[in-house]
Amino acid sequence: MAGGNTTQTLSSVRVRRLIIEQSKRAHVGHIGSALSIADILVALFSGTVDAETDVFILSKGHAALALYCVLAELGMISHEQLDTYCGDDTQLGVHPDHTLAGITFSTGSLGHGPSLGAGVALAKRIAGKPGRVFVLMSDAELNEGSVWEAVMFAGHHKLDNLTVILDNNGQQALAPTAEVINLSGVDRLVQTLGWESLRVDGHNVDALTAALAAQIPGRPLFVIADTVAGKGVSFMERQVKWHYLPVDDEQFAQAMGEIG
């Protein structure tokens, strides 16, 4: 189970630097998605997620690099392990593998996380076990029908131990989400289906932490985190191509300079 260590201070800057470094070293893309969720992960793993009782599921598995960097910063995996990212015979592929410390579920196919999370949340209720379930998903995942099956189920069963965080970066693999399937009214949709919906700046760690602390009896929590794909590197921000591309030497230097 992934969990935060409250004695360790996670830094968004450090996580972003690691993302760029590892992506450069491994010559692998998905940088934009990883930078998009960096602050959400920092908020989650700076005390929100209880390592003993809670379960975290990265439904948008393609952003696993950000999670690996957080796990390394927390000491749950070593930095030597992090350096195996996308090598041969590694547990650190582009998408997360449950055999790695800190990963509960392997993901990579979109739209599975909310259902898995609802199952864990329901099982905890049946067994009378404490703990919350956090699912981090992309806005493009809302296209998957199974997401709505899970949203309906969790709302009906009042799974208030379940929290979904939407990485609302407005961008998907081929185009802006608003041009593919416009779901700008998702907050009203989930509320209608029995959820509590909150909207928050997805790059403000304090605001995220406060939003994630909200628990409303009888209502699962849906946190819409407004984010920017590629956040922190000017030439990557809101650019579809940085869903795919690795960085060259010049871009690497500029990116590290901007992150600080």
Partner 1 sequence: MRKQFVSTLIDIANHDDRVVLLTADLGFMVLEPFAEHHPDRFFNVGVAEANMMSLAAGMANEGLIPFCYSIATFASMRGYEQFRNGAVLHQLPVRIVGIGGGFAYGTAGPTHHALEDIALMRVQPGVGIIAPADDGQVDRALRDHYARPQPMYLRLAKETASHPELDGRFRWGRLEVIGDGDIVIVAIGSMTGVALEVRRQLQAAGIQTAVAVAASIAPAPTDDLVALLSSKGACITLEDHRPIGGLGSLVAETIADHGMGVRLVRCGVTDPTGETTGSEEYLRRRNGLDVNGVMAAVRRTGLVPA
Which chain residues interact with partner 1 by CB under 8 A?
98, 104-109, 112, 115-124, 126-127, 129, 145-146, 149-150, 152-153, 156-157
> Residue 240 corresponds to which amino acid?
V
Q: Is the Cβ of residue 145 or residue 217 nearer to partner 1 in the bound state?
A: 145
Run of H or E residues at 199: strand 196-201
Q: Is the Cβ of residue 38 or residue 118 nearer to partner 1 in the bound state?
A: 118
Q: In angstroms, give the least distance from the CB of 10 to partner 1.
A: 26
Q: Is the Cβ of residue 15 or residue 121 nearer to partner 1 in the bound state?
A: 121
Q: In angstroms, give the least distance from the CB of 218 to partner 1.
A: 18
Read off φ and ψ for residue 240, nearest 5 degrees: -55, -35
Q: In angstroms, give the least distance from the CB of 149 to partner 1.
A: 4
SS3 207: helix
Q: In angstroms, give the least distance from the CB of 119 to partner 1.
A: 2
Run of H or E residues at 166: strand 162-168
Bridge pairing between strands 162-168 and 133-138: parallel
Please state, in angstroms and rounded to a whole number, the distance separating the CA atoms of residues 15 and 18. Answer: 5
Query: Measuring CA to CA, how many Å separate 7 from each of 10, 107, 200?
Result: 10, 29, 26
Helix pair 64-73, 12-26: axis angle to 10 deg: 120
Please state, in angstroms and rounded to a whole number, the distance separating the CA atoms of residues 103 and 81. Answer: 14
Q: In angstroms, give the least distance from the CB of 27 to partner 1.
A: 27
Q: Is the Cβ of residue 50 or residue 83 nearer to partner 1 in the bound state?
A: 50
Q: Is the Cβ of residue 128 or residue 260 nearer to partner 1 in the bound state?
A: 128
Please state, in angstroms and rounded to a whole number, the distance separating the CA atoms of residues 113 and 107. Answer: 8
Q: Is the Cβ of residue 10 or residue 116 nearer to partner 1 in the bound state?
A: 116
Run of H or E residues at 151: helix 145-156
